[in-house]
Amino acid sequence: MSTAERVLAYGGGWLDRAGPLRTDPARLSALLTDSTTVLLPMWRDRCLVDGHGPVRLSTERAALVRSAASETVFLGLDAEVAVFAADLSALPEQAAVEMAGAVKSVDVRALVGRLEPGDAAAQAYARGLLHWHRQQRFCGTCGAPAVADGGGHARTCTGAECGRLLFPRIEPAIIVLVEAPGRSGRCLLARHAGAPEDAYSTLAGFVEIGESLEDAARREMAEEVGVTVTDVTYQGSQAWPFPAGLMVGFRATATSDEVRVDGEELLEARWFTRAELRDRAASGRSLGRVDAIDHRLLTDWLAESWSGPPPVRERGDGPPPPSSRW
């Protein structure tokens, strides 16, 4: 079973995004002040946490945070519970922490290993949406101010002659595990400029205008390591709202094992056998970020043999969605 059929970090969230509610301002206003509603406060892309994890506010403290927030956005419904996120970035960090009843601010990527998947997905979702609002204050066409709309999922230009509707930007990128030609059982990893001496990772790059995802995979492999690839096969995708990415994972097969790097963006690229990567993992060296799709691509590849891939966990393994998490 491919990576596509399993949940990766920051995906598979349990919120119903409830799109139709975004165009019902009266209903959203009522939900925002409902006593059961949950508010997730953020500060400059960081979660506000207490001793139990990211804080979840309701009633009086939620109202206080909303009054100080530069934006409040609707994330969706968890069963019958509405979930919103509020941005306290305009405040000094300590003031935001105290107002939310938190103890500090933390990047969600530092918390993901301790959060349930749905919680990590909600925090990353809030982070990405609020980041976009801070970056899209003005219309890119006429320069007039833009105001939040659609429950925070759009902004509308206020220019009298424009009125353009703006939506959050998503930046797709491909990430590829390249296998050597034939049956040698090797994959290609590279060391990027600025990376530690012995840190290797899979190859990735952004999709350009006018490219398919497969086109981008072929182009990036040729540009970065001088390798022509065939059999470009989709493995899965991952939300990566840091700030607005969508990582799309592939496998591909090189037509040659010759490798060329530019010495600037990439300092080195080499082929690794499964045995070498297992030894690296056993010695504590990371096979990519544990919360990222490249780690899954590598661990899936390591788990395989020439007789075929082993069974893997299916989507939904782990705790089932409760009726309400808040």
Size of the chain, expressed as the number of residues it contains = 326
Is the pLDDT assigned to residue 33 strictly greater than 90? yes
pLDDT in tens, 4-25: 456 799 998 889 999 999 999 9
- pLDDT reported for residue 262: 84
Burial (CB count <10 Å: 0-12, 13-18, 19+), residue 67: exposed
CB neighbourhood size of 312 (10 A): 15
Please state the rounded mean pLDDT for residues 258-285: 92
Instruction: Name every residue whose Cβ is closer than 8 Å to that of residue 275 and which is 6 or more positions away in sequence.
Output: none
**Tell me, what DSSP letter sits at residue 98?**
H
pLDDT in tens, 119-172: 999 999 999 999 999 999 999 999 999 999 999 999 999 999 999 999 999 999
Antiparallel, parallel or unpaired: β 266-273 and 186-192: antiparallel
Give all strands (DSSP E) within the chain, no chain letters.
38-43, 46-50, 53-54, 71-78, 81-87, 104-106, 146-149, 154-157, 165-166, 171-179, 186-192, 203-206, 229-240, 245-254, 266-273
The structure's pTM equals 0.88
- pLDDT reported for residue 14: 85
pLDDT in tens, 196-243: 888 999 999 999 999 999 999 999 999 999 999 999 999 999 999 999
**Mean pLDDT estimate for the chain:** 91
- pLDDT reported for residue 2: 53
Burial (CB count <10 Å: 0-12, 13-18, 19+), residue 310: exposed
Place of tokens 């990211």: 54
CB neighbourhood size of 319 (10 A): 10
Domains annotated on the chain, with CATH: 19-138 (3.90.79), 171-303 (3.90.79.10)
SS (H, E, C) 172-216: EEEEEEEECCCCCCEEEEEEECCCCCCCCECEEEECCCCCCHHHH
